[in-house]
Structure 1
């Protein structure tokens, strides 16, 4: 009987040791293989991307070369986003012919929810959904709303991580006007 207990005890010890080694290996692998994401800063080249808007049109950042891009990351649930959307719509109308384009990037919400929001606010600028958060991650977006101002050369002019007033939106759009 003692021999059986001793074997069981040894077997448990070996099993626990193996599990512990596997856990330690997984942690070490995760830390060692972690990709370092470059934090974007003013003056950096804006990462290119391709997203499809609600109407099915492709939008690549590279397609806007020579023009300013007001790249706004947002969500339908975000109160500051709701507040600034009408201001963005007003300025979309005013700046579209001046070579400054708004592209709104919704983060992972359903097409129906985003279309309902667009219709409720009467938005006419392009709205795309970042379904897998790849563009959000490429731009290191943390709070919503975040707006990245991109100049005619494809470089980041400014990153705004808060709600904007209409006067601020006008000023920002003027700053990236070609």
Structure 2
């Protein structure tokens, strides 16, 4: 018995199998591409996502602080001023104690921090060791190279000096 190619496809169910496989592959492609769009490198305490690639070309200041640290409380306004006044500088905070998100959010408000605060310690991602002394401020260049590790309270002026040196 000779079947035409059209009859073969109808009887064998080939068309149906092919259609299901094509739909599955298209769905998989859309799923993978949509996952990439939401793939963030880190999140702040408010749940906002950030990509390091979006920060390229900017200086990044990462400050480790704690609610019980008196010098930290003194330098927060300086960091806030730097964050507010310079478009080429991004300031991020790290709560050294890593409390639960709700407590961390309350502490951020209490400290009057208006710049993003990491939800988790970024030391592994940044390739650094978690500081043992507070406050500690890390200055990264536009190429994400670590320029300085500063221990003790900093001022807007001292941080700008590090940036201008590089």
Same fold (TM over 0.5): yes
Contact 1:75/1:106, CA 8 A, preserved across alignment: yes
Q: Distance in 2 between matches of 1:81 and 1:136?
A: 23
Give 1:76's aligned residue: 67
Q: Which structure 2 residues correspond to residues 103-142 of structure 1 after superposition, within 5 A?
A: 103-107=92-96, 108-130=98-120, 133=121, 135=123, 138-140=127-129, 141-142=131-132
Q: Which structure 2 residues correspond to residues 59-74 of structure 1 after superposition, within 5 A?
A: 59-74=50-65
* Structure of higher RCO (CA pairs closer than 8 Å, 6+ residues apart): 1
Match among 89, 97, 102 for residue 100 of structure 1 = 89
2:149 equivalent to 1:159: yes
Q: Distance in 1 between matches of 2:147 and 2:122?
A: 21
Unpaired segments ≥5 residues, structure 2: 1-39
TM-score using structure 1 length: 0.60
TM-score using structure 2 length: 0.64
Q: How many matched pairs?
A: 124
Max Rg structure: 2
Contact 2:66/2:134, CA 8 A, preserved across alignment: yes
> RMSD of the TM alignment (CA)?
2.4
Q: Distance in 2 between matches of 1:161 and 1:89?
A: 18
C-alpha displacement at 1:82, in angstroms? 1.3
Task: Deviation per CA, 1:109-161: give whole Å up to 9, x if none.
Answer: 2223322222223322111132xx46269421221211111001111111102
SS at match of 1:113: helix
Contact 2:45/2:101, CA 8 A, preserved across alignment: yes
Distance 1:78 1:59, change over 3 A: farther
